Structure 1
Amino acid sequence: MAPRANWKGFLRLSLVTCPVALYPATSESEKISFNQLNRKTGHRIKYAKVDADTGEEVANEDIVKGYKVDTDTFIEVTKEELENVALESTRTIEIDEFVDRSEIDPRYLIRPYYLRPDGKVGHDAFAVIRETIREMNKVAIGRVVLTNREHIIALKPLDKGLMGYEVRSEEEYFDEIQDVKVTKDMLDLARHIVNQKSDRFEPDKFEDQYETALVDLINQKRAGNPITPKERPAAGNVVDLMEALRRSVGGAAPAKAGKTAKKPRKAAAGQKEMLMPIEGKKPKEAAAKKPAARPQRKSA
């Protein structure tokens, strides 16, 4: 049985979608770790969450996240409100483009992950995406939100699954992937989609849209505006894979001079690692546009 997944969601190429799970390809469990002890008693040190002013311990259910506005003013943000910052990349790895393997400097490849189908459905769609990338010797570039940051992720085939680079045996992850025969017609259609999305790898094209959405959420709450949950995108199972491929080809604009028809917005330069945080708008950049703040809840 494979270890617990870090993230579960969907992998999507145009209209072809399948449920997937993302697993870390490295492990810290075999390394020696230490606990902190009281030298006098030999007892372990326990860290308690206490109120900074009263010194009283605070129960986990009474702890909320807050964005600091000034010395003693915070904007409270609930777990539900954070979940409603509904970026596609929170639940879906959308393949934005394909690049040649030679375009990816090995220094970009950090924090390797294994990607496999999640559950018993979607193995055929996963196989089409995997085999098309393999046959065309490409790397798929997408986005995924991990640890409250949107990251660029590079995917390439390994055996029956997808990964960045091998650092642990893949068998425990890929054994349960079904053996699917991908037809020539499916590969031809998928290859056409890849050609339309093919481009040169430019990391500074990507902007952290998740951070931008968080800044907007904080500003809306600061202005006292009601927070309306965004409608989550439907992620239904593909019933007819060939039809989804045909519609994907038909709905895409033809590429010109090797460039993709749709390019992400430019972001600040300095993007230097693969599966790395994408530079986003910082709160101070949005300060000039912030509405006047109404009195906020003070820290105790």
Structure 2
Amino acid sequence: MATPRAYWKGSLKLSLVTCPVALYPASTSVEKTRFHMINAETGNRLKQQMVDKETGDVVKKDQKARGYEISKGKFIEIEKDELDAVQIESTHTIEIDSFVPADEIEKRYLNHPYYIVPDGKAGVDAFAVIRDAMKDKDRVALARIVLTNREHVIAIEPFGKGLLGTTLRYPYELRDADDYFDGIKNPKISKDMIELASHILDSKAAHFDPSKFKDDYETALKALVKRKAAGKPLKIAEPEEKSDNVISLMDALKQSLKGGKGSKADAAAPRRAQPARRGRAAKAQRAPARRRKAS
């Protein structure tokens, strides 16, 4: 496998210890099925154009600029050299500011993961010292890094022979949970219900295994594209009928526990609904017989 191109190169700095490192994105969307906009009449791909909102004129590349909206419809232009003037020191350096316990980092702050590796042989020793020291202390380093002209806080932790860096969101990027959770009521739930739910949780206990993650929609998309490209007829699946039966929470818990690891449908629909479906099927079979008898 060819070595991918580094997303970022610079130095990892811990006090006076510095080593050259490279960052590589730990995630990718290359394998995802993507569609392009095309002209339905010609089959040709479409391209987007920037258009002046007021005049409707197409704007050429050399006419484009960055602007900040200071009031409704009023912008001030920010020049490239003005942006360059506010570049910060961490542009080419990941400077570690502190070390924190891993369990203190809230999951909602986690953003994009990157693999951090030594860049060349010169800094391998320093890299290993920083990595192994973190292993011994079981701590996560918090540092600053500039990616795509923005400064990010990045959490760095040992990961195999390398380091895993995960950019963190700033507090202003997160919505206040109270705005969403304050309206949730606190109903009185019986102890029996909690115990039943706990038993269901125990019956589905497992270990985290991402190899079992299945993207059913992506699989269906690939199958759709393959059949379409081969000129084969498409199979349109009929939507599943949803049961209109109302079931109490206690009954749902009991049936879920009885079903163990059964299908979702078994847990959601009560048993008494099945005879009704058989009744409809029998009625449908009798109808042609009545018509034949009448004729």
TM-score by length of 1: 0.51
The structure richer in helix per residue is: 2
How big is the shift at 1:13?
0.9
Q: In the alignment, does 2:124 pair up with 1:123?
A: yes
How big is the shift at 1:3?
2.1
Unaligned runs of 5+ in 2: 174-295
Q: In the alignment, does 2:163 pair up with 1:162?
A: yes
User: Does the aligned pair in 2 maintain the 1:67–1:77 contact within 8 Å?
Assistant: yes
2:169 to 276, 281, 290: 276
Q: Which amino acid aligns with 1:136?
A: K
Q: Which amino acid aligns with 1:157?
A: P
In structure 2, the residue matched to 1:81 is 82
- Once the two structures are superposed, residues 193-222 of structure 1 have per-residue CA deviations (whole angstroms, 9 ceiling, x without a partner) of xxxxxxxxxxxxxxxxxxxxxxxxxxxxxx
Describe the shift of the 1:52–1:9 C-alpha distance in structure 2 as closer, same or farther (beyond 3 A).
same
User: Does the aligned pair in 2 maintain the 1:109–1:164 contact within 8 Å?
Assistant: no
In structure 2, C-alpha distance between the alignment counterparts of 1:93 and 1:279, rounded to whole Å: 22
Question: Where do residues 4-15 of structure 1 align in structure 2 (5 Å cutoff)?
Answer: 4-15=5-16
Question: Where do residues 280-295 of structure 1 align in structure 2 (5 Å cutoff)?
Answer: none
- Once the two structures are superposed, residues 261-283 of structure 1 have per-residue CA deviations (whole angstroms, 9 ceiling, x without a partner) of xxxxxxxxxxxxx6223539xxx
How big is the shift at 1:158?
1.7
Describe the shift of the 1:96–1:278 C-alpha distance in structure 2 as closer, same or farther (beyond 3 A).
farther
- Rg (Cα) greater in structure: 2
How big is the shift at 1:50?
2.7
Question: Where do residues 16-165 of structure 1 align in structure 2 (5 Å cutoff)?
Answer: 16-71=17-72, 73-164=74-165
User: Does the aligned pair in 2 maintain the 1:6–1:24 contact within 8 Å?
Assistant: yes
- What is the percentage of aligned positions where both structures have the same residue? 52
- Once the two structures are superposed, residues 100-147 of structure 1 have per-residue CA deviations (whole angstroms, 9 ceiling, x without a partner) of 233334554442110112244322222221121122221111122334
RMSD: 2.5
How big is the shift at 1:24?
0.8
The alignment partner of 1:133 has SS state of helix
Q: Which amino acid aligns with 1:124?
A: D
User: Does the aligned pair in 1 maintain the 2:116–2:165 contact within 8 Å?
Assistant: no
Question: Where do residues 220-259 of structure 1 align in structure 2 (5 Å cutoff)?
Answer: none
User: Does the aligned pair in 2 maintain the 1:151–1:278 contact within 8 Å?
Assistant: no
How big is the shift at 1:26?
0.6
In structure 2, C-alpha distance between the alignment counterparts of 1:117 and 1:65, rounded to whole Å: 36
Describe the shift of the 1:279–1:90 C-alpha distance in structure 2 as closer, same or farther (beyond 3 A).
farther
Larger relative contact order, structure 1 or 2 (CA cutoff 8 Å, min sep 6):
1
How big is the shift at 1:28?
0.3
Unaligned runs of 5+ in 1: 166-273, 281-300
Counting matched residue pairs gives: 172
In structure 2, C-alpha distance between the alignment counterparts of 1:42 and 1:34, rounded to whole Å: 13
How big is the shift at 1:61?
2.8
TM-score by length of 2: 0.52
User: Does the aligned pair in 2 maintain the 1:150–1:277 contact within 8 Å?
Assistant: no
